[in-house]
Structure 1
Amino acid sequence: MAFEKLEDIKPREILPGYTVRFVHTDRMTFAFWDVAKDSPLPEHAHHHEQVAQVMEGEYELTIGGETKRLGPGDVAIIPSNVPHSGMAITACKLMDVFCPVREDYLGTNK
């Protein structure tokens, strides 16, 4: 696949308040999130490197014990195996890029 419309990818609720559309390549996973206001993301860690960007809204992100409030255009880099958590301050649109591909999310785009 070379072209796809994001709106044609079936959304999935991964956690309460977190709905996502995934795009997978051979080496990366892109996650396009719609997050409801006041939705928490429990602390977790994974071997994937992650880059997170707030597209719309405000999101509070804690990475390795450091907490920042992020807004549109803000980017956070989450190294491999570093604990992180979050909270949607407002309704948000977020984009995450994971490398390598998120094996646990494969097969979830349609």
Structure 2
Amino acid sequence: MTKPVALNNLPVKNTVAGHYGRFVHGERSTLAFWEISEGAISPMHQHPHEQITYVAAGIFEMEIDGVKYELLQHDTLVIPPNALHGGRAVKDCKLIDSFCPVREDYR
């Protein structure tokens, strides 16, 4: 993507129940904008990508390698590559995730 695009003009993908994402892909990274419904579960999973999560709104409970964190608005968290992680939206959430390398599965 080499020109500006309004976030609302990006297609929405429902990747997991209650998870609605819009994605921007560069050559080496992906930026994901999520809207996650209260109570929605992000199943435990792992991937080779480094992930940085930012909570723009809401409360999200994240578990990484057996440790739980309550993420509040404006909190950030780095998830290392291959770390087992998952979570739950305690309240409706807006999250921004960066992934490196690119998440081809989100194209």
Band of TM-score, shorter chain: over 0.9
2-structure distance, mates of 1:65, 1:77: 15
Cα-to-partner distance string for 1:39-74 (whole Å, 9 max, x where unaligned): 011000000000001100000000111101111110
Which residues in structure 2 correspond to 1:1-110 (within 5 Å)? 1-106=2-107
1-structure distance, mates of 2:61, 2:102: 25
2-structure distance, mates of 1:65, 1:18: 22
Stretches of structure 1 that go unaligned for 5 or more consecutive residues are none
2-structure distance, mates of 1:2, 1:66: 40
How big is the shift at 1:2? 2.5
How big is the shift at 1:10? 1.2
Q: What amino acid is the match of 2:13?
A: R
How big is the shift at 1:15? 0.6
1-structure distance, mates of 2:13, 2:79: 23
Identity fraction in percent: 40
SS class of match (1:104): helix
Aligned length: 106
RMSD: 0.6
Q: What amino acid is the match of 1:60?
A: E
Cα-to-partner distance string for 1:63-94 (whole Å, 9 max, x where unaligned): 11110111111001000000001000000000
2-structure distance, mates of 1:105, 1:7: 17
Runs of 4+ in 1 over 6 A off after TM superposition: none
TM-score by length of 2: 0.97
